[in-house]
Structure 1
Amino acid sequence: MLRRILLSLKRNWLLFIVITLFTSSIIWLEIILSTNRSQTTLNEVSNHLTTMADLKAVQIQNWRSERLIDGQTIQTDVAFSDDIHILIQDRSDYQVIKKKLDRLRTILLDPNYSSILLIDGDGNEVLHVGEVDDKLRINVIDNIRVIDLTREIQISNLYRAPNGTVRMDMITPIFQRGDQYQPILAYLVYIITPDVVLYPLIQSQSTTYNTAETLLVRKENNEVVFLNELRYKNGTALELKLPLSETQVPAVMAVNGITGIVNGNDYRSIPVMASIVPVEGTDWKLIAKIDMKEIYIPIRQQIVSTVIVVIFLIIIGVTSVIYLWRRSSASVTKGLSDSEKLRKNLEEKYSTLFNQANDAILLVDETGRILEANAQAVKMYGYTHNELINLSVSDLRDDSLKHIVPTDLEKVKNGTVNFFETTQKRKNGKLFQVDISSRYLSIDGKGVFQSMVRDITEKKQAEENLRLSELALKKAQAVSHVGSWIWKLKENIVEWSDEMYSIYGLDKQNFNSDITEIIKTTTYGDDLERITRLNHEGIKSKTLFSYEYRIIRPDGSVRDIWAEVGEYSVDEHGEVVSLSGIAQDITDKKAAERELKKSENLLQRIYDLLPVGLWLTDENGRLIRSNKMVKEIWGKDILVSVDDFSVFHGRRLPSREEIKADDWASVHTIRDGVTIRDEMIEIDAYDGKAKTILNYSTPILDEDGKLEGAIVLNLDISELKKAEEQLSAQLDELRRWNLATLGRENRIRELKMEINKLLVEIGREPIYQSVVDDDHE
């Protein structure tokens, strides 16, 4: 049996080689495609993890910012600080205590806080609102000492309270008169319960991966501490700790300064892919992870599908090759007559190819006379076939180039030139550019030239257009200060566009393209270590990234640069061989941003110092911004859309007509473009008080008169209204008294006049001189 197989292989060795090559090609092709698909899946997962981690980090930062805003709001409340001043001096003032307790209970409506404590400078408790089990940390006095130096709000790290719950503290200094430059009166300690808002915020997932999990960790001594409750373990917050020696754990990688995408084993010793992001303003590290087992499920499914397809293709391919081989073998046995037919068929095919070729083909003898021309040549030159074969190649050349035709023929004959460009002429005299590929052949013992002529007029025009485009690109890069670059990793060299030399202030002729030397000699200050690290991490993970850095030019000037990696090139092993991108000189932009930030800060200070509540809306009427006075008037900072205006409660005065959600002044301004002034309204504020305000609303228009939004002003006239009411009551009382006394005075005058009259009649002088004139009248 084996001998028969070997004999069959010996007879059909070529068939065996063809089948082997065909099978190997299919297998290698599918392996490459499967590898690419697997890498694509891994890249998609890493991108998803990066997005998850970045989103959670931003959410945590916003959560911390909201806490600081809570502290800053009460910190700048002048009335609150004045009451605290009174309370610190007289801690038995029941009215002040009740008022402050009510205020603090209002703050406790926020689920983030379990208790709020007011303490003095020695850490003694003055007021306590909230859960009775909440106690001050022993080391809270250390935070107070730091606040005394920095005069800033302090947020403690997570800690476990004596009652076993996880807590955080926010300690807010209360300044005299709400002014941070005045002495500190006392300190408000907000006890934060992270398991109500922060922990659910961390664990909430918007992903289709079943094993996705988000962790929060920090470094303590030689251990990494897990700060939140974990998905697969209970009671882990501040309790689960791992030694830093377990370097394969993403949590350990995170506290050791590693960021971005990593692979390792999580706290369950299960392989995972994770994205590490630091939480700004804290020593916390956020980790978003997915089990590798779940990641590889679609990859394994793809591999199974690939194997099935490969087997199917191999079966079809082998069957087809064997079938074709047998047919070919049968045709060979037909004899020499078939070979003759084949030769004739080849001649017919050559004739067909000759006449149907896309390029013009000319057969030329050694004297330059045209022997034969195909249909494309007839079309290209505009002659008939008979006209062409009666011409020489010199007749087709530009008149100024005819003298070099013999030289060109000789070079082709000697083999020194086979390809050249020249200018030719059509029958109508129009000149055009051509590429000529010519060879010297021997046919029936005679030498002939076979020349293939291609019209390159459009190609030349495209090259000219490309040259103009490159010139325009250089000009555009010069105007926008944007240069392009290619970094070849194996050679460790960089190729620059002309604008890159201009940005760096370097001479192109004397340029050293060693990238290490360029970065070392041109990077300014401590930016060198950072960009070196970013380049290494980006190339290692093959992720597109960008960063800003500073350079110092040879003339000593420092410039701000923004660089971005736009594309990687890899070899057959998937290793990065080069990367390319752009760099832009943003010095002027950075300077403008700094000036803009100054202006914005000044505008914000003016905005917050306005003695009226100020709202801004967008073009749809949504309240998008407000100043501090809005919260002082309404008892709450309210930014909602028009659909949610039912949160506002007010009545127009003096009619006391209830204002509906779609009847507020800003709604009319947005809807009708009208300005509304001096609208007197009685509002129900969220601090439980009824207040009287003057409401104003006016549209914001762009330069074309298109509505962009509205400005809404609230002027609190509650005190003025009360004063007016008191004055009105006093005036009414004065009028009543005046009416009561007016009749009495008239009667007294009449009596005086009668007495004077009687005295005159008895011959005596009048005694009431003030009414003498009235007597005469």
Structure 2
Amino acid sequence: MHKVRLSRPARIALGYITVAVLWIFTSDGLVAYLAADQATLVNIQAWKGAAFVLVTGLALFSLLSIPQSMADPRPRTHSGRLPGVLLALTFFTLTIVIVAFGTLVHRYQTSVFKAHQYKQQVAIAKLKANQIERWIDWHRQLAEQLASDPSVLAAAVRHADRNDDEQLRELRLHFESLLKSGRWTEIGLYTPDGHPLARAGTELFIDEFHRRAIAAAASAGTFRLFDMHAMHEKKSKIPLHIAFLAPIVADTEGSRVVGVLALSVDPRQSLFGMAREWPIPSESSETLLVRREGEEVVFMTPLRHSDARPLGLRRSLSEKSLPAVQAVLNGEGVFEGVDYRGTAALAAFRPVAGTDWRIVAKTDTEEVMHPLRQQSQLILLAILLAIGIAGLMVALVWRRRQTDFAKRQDQELAEHEALSRRYVALFQNARDSIFLLDASGRVMEANRVAMSSYGYSDAEIRLLNMRDLRAPETRATFERDYRDAERPEGNQFETLHQGKDGSVFPVEVSTRVIEVAGQRLWQSFVRNIAERKRIETTIRQQLDDLRRWYEVTLDREDRVGELKTEVNGLLQRLGEPPRYTSVGAESKPAAPSDT
């Protein structure tokens, strides 16, 4: 069965199609997996296409720069460095493009991933802030609702108008029944200046800060939140306290405040759990509730990664790398810095409406970036795989080229050796003496006929100059004859040479300049013409003898002609016809020529 061999253009086209198909499906799948939106996908596809055109253009140029046929008869003296450089340049460019593309994808994925994580942190911060705001608003509504209760209002008015405390006992019982719900730790009715009238529950120690807050709520006639603060350990049963203060108004215009209702809660029971709860599984994420006090930020809630008590950890506002500091300074935003333990963290923060609080939702950067690192490893693996494939392709092309070059070199070497053998055979078996001379006339090579004709060995004749082979009387013209050999047609002349034994013989010399392996050499063919000269001398002597014979013959013919003329004359006188019809110069033979 005949094996079909594709032409070189067909192989290049087939390889190009294969690479293009693999590139399109592989890269498109990777980009579609990594790109987050259509605009980014289009942008990356454009750069990917430009990179493919650039790389394949260089690859095709490199392939087409490789000699097409191994049987190229032109001499080669090198391995074709230009195609090799082009292949290396193609691989280098391809590597740069692949690494640049991978870096671009990695940077884009990093920014997209961080943006997604920021959105998630912002959403969680917003969720927590809304939860706390609803929690505060719910307690506000309950406090205002209880403050407008007729029994509470009546007790406050009677105490204010008549200093009558009869209804306060019933009011205290009412408060105690409300406490059974577990929502509050204490319910109290206070005078506008902060003195207690009726209290039920833990009976918190009323300090000066508490009294001022109650007085401020009564003076403003509106709801007030008494911010969380630590209680005296010996004077209070709970360490932390938040109070919701609702003024009790006696008239419809709201101008007469007769008391203040206070609903006290322990933040540990509901607020802390609400703030600390993270909506998705996480090993490092936490939500912080912070506020500003002077030039410090105070951490209000328990910390996941610290044993500090609520309100126990304070940090200076000069520590701008802390997300908590950024929260109390800027109110709302996202920030990448270090948390209270010095660990890199990604955070989002926002204010809690109606308070001085800031909610901070943060996650360790290490945890955030862990999925991205897995993608980065995938991208790195894809980059290394692409570089490996590119290197393999370039290596295959290079190996094929080197194989072709080695075959060409072997073929050229075989042809050169065959040519050398033929040349040596012609050189050594020629009937004439052949010399290869350098520019000064020194003998570099001589064939066997030359060594035999002049009586020298190979080593001896290589020590001689062509001038040394001339007879002494002809050496004066050597320089001129040697210089004339540089003409395009060379030089041919006759001269006298002498052998090692001193014998002199005539020669005919034909010399021209040739180039061998970049070196100019004088090639001289020397033919011994002694025999020819001897023959020429013999012929010349024979011609001389023939000329002398001709001259003798010519004299005899002249005498015979005279006799014939005399006979014809006698016959005419006797009345008879002449016997000889041709006498004279026309019957003479031609004289011999020298040629």
Normalising by structure 1, what TM-score?
A: 0.39
The answer to whether the 8 A contact 1:260-1:277 is kept is yes
Displacement after TM superposition at 1:52 (Å): 0.4
1:70 pairs, out of 139, 142, 165, with 142
Q: Which residue of 2 aligns with 1:639?
A: none
Partner SS state of residue 146, structure 2: helix
Question: Is 1:196 the counterpart of 2:266 in the alignment?
Answer: no
Q: Which residue of 2 aligns with 1:125?
A: 196
The equivalences for 1:267-416 within 5 A come to: 267-324=340-397
2:278 pairs, out of 205, 211, 217, with 205
Displacement after TM superposition at 1:153 (Å): 1.8
Partner SS state of residue 389, structure 2: helix
The answer to whether the 8 A contact 1:170-1:189 is kept is yes
The answer to whether the 8 A contact 2:248-2:258 is kept is yes
The equivalences for 1:705-720 within 5 A come to: none
2:242 pairs, out of 161, 165, 168, with 168
State the alpha-carbon separation in 1 of the partners of residues 98 and 279 from structure 2: 40
Displacement after TM superposition at 1:324 (Å): 4.1
Of 203-212 and 293-302, more deviation after overlay is shown by: 293-302
Q: Which residue of 1 aligns with 2:587?
A: none
The answer to whether the 8 A contact 2:333-2:349 is kept is yes
The equivalences for 1:26-65 within 5 A come to: 26-65=98-137
Partner SS state of residue 321, structure 1: helix
Of 105-114 and 211-220, more deviation after overlay is shown by: 105-114
Q: Which residue of 2 aligns with 1:591?
A: none
CA distances 1:8-54 after superposition (whole Å, capped 9, x unpaired): 86662222222222222222211111222222221111111000001
State the alpha-carbon separation in 1 of the partners of residues 177 and 79 from structure 2: 98
Q: Which residue of 2 aligns with 1:12?
A: 84
The equivalences for 1:134-145 within 5 A come to: 134-145=204-215
Partner SS state of residue 208, structure 2: coil
Question: Is 1:214 the counterpart of 2:280 in the alignment?
Answer: no
The code of the aligned residue for 1:162 comes to: H
Q: Per residue, is there more helix in 1 or in 2? A: 2
The equivalences for 1:446-465 within 5 A come to: none
Q: Per residue, is there more strand in 1 or in 2? A: 1
What stretches of structure 1 of length at least 5 have no aligned partner?
Answer: 1-5, 336-777
Displacement after TM superposition at 1:181 (Å): 2.2
State the alpha-carbon separation in 1 of the partners of residues 343 and 205 from structure 2: 39
State the alpha-carbon separation in 1 of the partners of residues 173 and 143 from structure 2: 17
State the alpha-carbon separation in 2 of the partners of residues 73 and 199 from structure 1: 25
Question: Closer, same or farther in 2 for the Cα pair 1:22/1:79, shift >3 Å?
Answer: same
State the alpha-carbon separation in 2 of the partners of residues 56 and 242 from structure 1: 23
Displacement after TM superposition at 1:90 (Å): 6.8
State the alpha-carbon separation in 2 of the partners of residues 241 and 275 from structure 1: 20
Question: Is 1:104 the counterpart of 2:175 in the alignment?
Answer: yes
Displacement after TM superposition at 1:323 (Å): 2.7
State the alpha-carbon separation in 2 of the partners of residues 157 and 323 from structure 1: 76
The answer to whether the 8 A contact 2:229-2:240 is kept is yes
The answer to whether the 8 A contact 1:151-1:180 is kept is no
Question: Closer, same or farther in 2 for the Cα pair 1:49/1:325, shift >3 Å?
Answer: same
Displacement after TM superposition at 1:333 (Å): 11
State the alpha-carbon separation in 1 of the partners of residues 223 and 93 from structure 2: 74
Q: Which has the higher contact order (CA 8 A, sep 6+)?
A: 2
State the alpha-carbon separation in 2 of the partners of residues 171 and 180 from structure 1: 19
Displacement after TM superposition at 1:142 (Å): 1.9
Larger Rg, first or second structure (1 or 2): 2
State the alpha-carbon separation in 1 of the partners of residues 360 and 307 from structure 2: 18
Question: Closer, same or farther in 2 for the Cα pair 1:332/1:213, shift >3 Å?
Answer: same
The code of the aligned residue for 1:309 comes to: A
Question: Closer, same or farther in 2 for the Cα pair 1:232/1:97, shift >3 Å?
Answer: same
The answer to whether the 8 A contact 1:60-1:279 is kept is yes
The answer to whether the 8 A contact 1:111-1:196 is kept is no
Question: Closer, same or farther in 2 for the Cα pair 1:9/1:242, shift >3 Å?
Answer: farther
Displacement after TM superposition at 1:107 (Å): 2.7
State the alpha-carbon separation in 1 of the partners of residues 405 and 124 from structure 2: 67
Of 7-16 and 165-174, more deviation after overlay is shown by: 7-16
Q: Which residue of 1 aligns with 2:310?
A: 237
Displacement after TM superposition at 1:256 (Å): 1.5
State the alpha-carbon separation in 2 of the partners of residues 78 and 111 from structure 1: 23
> What is the alpha-carbon root mean square deviation over aligned residues?
2.8
State the alpha-carbon separation in 2 of the partners of residues 100 and 130 from structure 1: 13
CA distances 1:646-694 after superposition (whole Å, capped 9, x unpaired): xxxxxxxxxxxxxxxxxxxxxxxxxxxxxxxxxxxxxxxxxxxxxxxxx
State the alpha-carbon separation in 2 of the partners of residues 38 and 144 from structure 1: 52
Question: Closer, same or farther in 2 for the Cα pair 1:233/1:322, shift >3 Å?
Answer: closer
State the alpha-carbon separation in 1 of the partners of residues 90 and 256 from structure 2: 93
Residues matched between the structures, number: 327
Q: Which residue of 2 aligns with 1:154?
A: 224
State the alpha-carbon separation in 2 of the partners of residues 145 and 88 from structure 1: 15
Question: Closer, same or farther in 2 for the Cα pair 1:168/1:137, shift >3 Å?
Answer: farther
The code of the aligned residue for 1:190 comes to: L
Displacement after TM superposition at 1:81 (Å): 1.1
CA distances 1:576-620 after superposition (whole Å, capped 9, x unpaired): xxxxxxxxxxxxxxxxxxxxxxxxxxxxxxxxxxxxxxxxxxxxx
Partner SS state of residue 182, structure 2: coil
Partner SS state of residue 123, structure 1: coil
The code of the aligned residue for 1:109 comes to: K
CA distances 1:254-299 after superposition (whole Å, capped 9, x unpaired): 1212521101111101111110101111111111000011122222
The code of the aligned residue for 2:239 comes to: T
Partner SS state of residue 361, structure 2: strand
The equivalences for 1:760-775 within 5 A come to: none
Question: Closer, same or farther in 2 for the Cα pair 1:148/1:97, shift >3 Å?
Answer: closer
State the alpha-carbon separation in 2 of the partners of residues 180 and 202 from structure 1: 38
The answer to whether the 8 A contact 2:143-2:246 is kept is yes
CA distances 1:316-362 after superposition (whole Å, capped 9, x unpaired): 22222333455578889999xxxxxxxxxxxxxxxxxxxxxxxxxxx
The answer to whether the 8 A contact 2:350-2:358 is kept is yes
Q: Which residue of 2 aligns with 1:526?
A: none
Question: Closer, same or farther in 2 for the Cα pair 1:267/1:112, shift >3 Å?
Answer: farther
CA distances 1:86-122 after superposition (whole Å, capped 9, x unpaired): 355677765x344312321233234341011222234
The code of the aligned residue for 2:302 comes to: E
The answer to whether the 8 A contact 1:273-1:289 is kept is yes
State the alpha-carbon separation in 2 of the partners of residues 295 and 28 from structure 1: 25
State the alpha-carbon separation in 1 of the partners of residues 168 and 162 from structure 2: 10
Partner SS state of residue 104, structure 2: helix
State the alpha-carbon separation in 2 of the partners of residues 233 and 127 from structure 1: 40
The answer to whether the 8 A contact 2:151-2:171 is kept is no
Question: Closer, same or farther in 2 for the Cα pair 1:319/1:256, shift >3 Å?
Answer: same
State the alpha-carbon separation in 1 of the partners of residues 380 and 209 from structure 2: 65
What is the aligned-residue identity percentage?
Answer: 23
